[in-house]
Structure 1
Amino acid sequence: MTTFFDYDLAFSRNIGWVTETEQAFLRTRRIAIAGMGGVGGSHLLTLTRLGVGKFNIADFDVFELANFNRQAGASLRHVGQPKVDVMAEMALDINPELEIRRFSTGVTAENLNDFLEGVDLYVDSLDFFAVEARRQVFAGCAQRGIPAITAAPLGMGSALLNFLPGRMSFEEYFCLEGQPEAEQLLRFLLGLSPAMLQMNYLVDATRVDLPNHRGPSTPMACELCAGIAATQALKILLKRGKVFAAPWGLHFDAYRNKLAVTWRPGGNKNPLQWLGLWIARRQLGQHL
């Protein structure tokens, strides 16, 4: 069955929360998303339903059974298929007029320029443990004046940081340079989540295994990330409403019914962060 596609009709229910002029503007924007797994797939589909018309998406991985608890494209018929292709096709099923550039080798130093070419906004969806790739992408965004969003799935909530042109950079905030991997991962975790709302209900700390790149996750957190990140994307692209930029952040935890607005001047150099890092090293020491 062939169905005629009409962009204006397909996204008409957005109108009211955005104007027709704003919707038409979103149609012309290009968003880059690195990672099509836990949060990346949900980011792509949510932003597609918002009416964003162009994407650069990257991932080198394929879907497997271990992805089923949280990843939008993970299903039996997609096992073994490239994530970047599955998610592109799912997005095109929503809007067949999308312009999608696929980077099936992931984001690398060699293709970073192409990945960020013509991009209006970057939404971070790389695996938590992909520290070096993440540092490269955020540095590339800073050099090009591209706003960058990271919404991390933590427990049953989401921690948000925005890195905007002319404001504190990713590296200035997280202070990762020259640190061993375990310390970088810990600094990334604490920097994302200064409030650490999720630790209150972690029932099995042995599942947090940073050296072996494993940790627990929930589908609720990934979907919350997509909603929060898409809202920030709308505000940044349309220049509407207050946008928090690092060192300010937001952390909403649905399990604890809490919203924390965080502020860490100096990022991980802040004395409160040093204290938090010391406590985290003690609590997770056997898993680092």
Structure 2
Amino acid sequence: MKKNKLIERYSRNFNTLTEQEQSLLLKAKVCIAGLGGLGGAVTEMLARVGVGYLTLVDGDIFEASNLNRQLFSTEATIGASKASVALQRVKAINSDVNVTIYETFLTHENCNKILNGNNLVVDCLDSINDRFMLQKAAQKAKIPLVSGAIAGTSGQVTTIYPDDSGFELIYGKTTDTRYSEKGIESLLGNLSYCALFIASIQASETLKVILNRGNTLRNRLFIADLMTNTFDIMTLQ
């Protein structure tokens, strides 16, 4: 992108971000695992702020039940691949973003390959076991992981570096059979404003990690309940 065009596109980023920081974002490579309520919103925000390389992963298709909260879900996209629709959306927002999509679910067999070459991965999955799998792959790739989860009007975010204990401090051991199914969101549902709120925190954490700026949620867990307007940050140890 020519400098004048770059400055015009990102003019509202500047003063909050420097041109040097914007350049760092344009070179950053971020993988987003899961393109539902959290992942779609994170993808949109990172594309708009100017993260230059996005790897988007989801093997699912849009269903009518996604319409209440998932940004890329419309009546016209019901039945369409979430990854394919996300690609089209990013290109409509910012054609200079380099996008790679995987129309597949993450597995132990493909996780390492998909994360290879990325600087950071954003966890927008809905299975606790899959989060542990993703953390293990991120540790092997030696990259940070920004995780978000929502249920009803509540949500949480944490940032995990390769040497951190991470999810074990939140959920316990990976062998705990309580986590064989999906998380509590399957019982409490998901509301649009909660998904967008938690996705915003994830996007913020992603930029702070890339730019090495500000206080991240490393070894801490941000917890929010939007029904009671209560917010807390727990130290993980």
TM-score (norm 2): 0.91
Query: Could you list the runs of 5+ residues in structure 2 that have no partner in the other structure?
Result: none
Alignment correspondent of 1:85: 84
Q: Any idea what SS the aligned residue of 1:25 has?
A: helix
Q: Any idea what SS the aligned residue of 2:155 has?
A: strand
- Quote the offset at 1:45 in angstroms: 0.3
1:29 aligned partner, one-letter code: A
Alignment correspondent of 1:122: 121
- Cα shift readout 1:161-214 (whole Å, capped 9, x = no counterpart): 11113222333542232222xx1269x96xxxxxxxxxxxxxxxxxx6x8xx55
Tell me, yes or no, if structure 1 residue 216 matches structure 2 residue 189.
yes
Alignment correspondent of 2:133: 136
Tell me, yes or no, if structure 1 residue 256 matches structure 2 residue 222.
no
Q: Give the Cα–Cα distance (whole angstroms) in 1 for the partners of residues 71 and 37 of structure 2.
A: 7
Asked if the contact 2:148–2:158 (Cα under 8 Å) also holds between the matched residues in 1, the reply is yes
Q: Give the Cα–Cα distance (whole angstroms) in 2 for the partners of residues 46 and 157 of structure 1.
A: 21
Asked if the contact 1:157–1:220 (Cα under 8 Å) also holds between the matched residues in 2, the reply is no
Asked if the contact 1:7–1:95 (Cα under 8 Å) also holds between the matched residues in 2, the reply is no
Asked if the contact 1:120–1:146 (Cα under 8 Å) also holds between the matched residues in 2, the reply is yes
2:151 aligned partner, one-letter code: L
- Cα shift readout 1:58-105 (whole Å, capped 9, x = no counterpart): 111111101011111111110110000001110111111111111101
Q: Give the Cα–Cα distance (whole angstroms) in 1 for the partners of residues 32 and 199 of structure 2.
A: 12
1:132 aligned partner, one-letter code: N
**What fraction of aligned residue pairs are identical, expressed as a percent?**
27
Large movers: runs of 4+ above 4 Å: none
Q: Please point out which of 244, 255, 261 is paired with 2:217.
A: 244
1:83 aligned partner, one-letter code: K
- Quote the offset at 1:125 in angstroms: 0.8
Choose 1 or 2 for highest CA Rg: 1
- Quote the offset at 1:232 in angstroms: 0.7
Q: Give the Cα–Cα distance (whole angstroms) in 1 for the partners of residues 235 and 155 of structure 2.
A: 16
1:253 aligned partner, one-letter code: D
Q: Give the Cα–Cα distance (whole angstroms) in 2 for the partners of residues 185 and 42 of structure 1.
A: 27
Query: Could you list the runs of 5+ residues in structure 1 that have no partner in the other structure?
Result: 190-207, 266-288
Q: Any idea what SS the aligned residue of 1:245 has?
A: coil
Matches within 5 A, 1:140-159: 140-159=137-156
Alignment correspondent of 1:203: none
Q: Give the Cα–Cα distance (whole angstroms) in 1 for the partners of residues 175 and 201 of structure 2.
A: 32
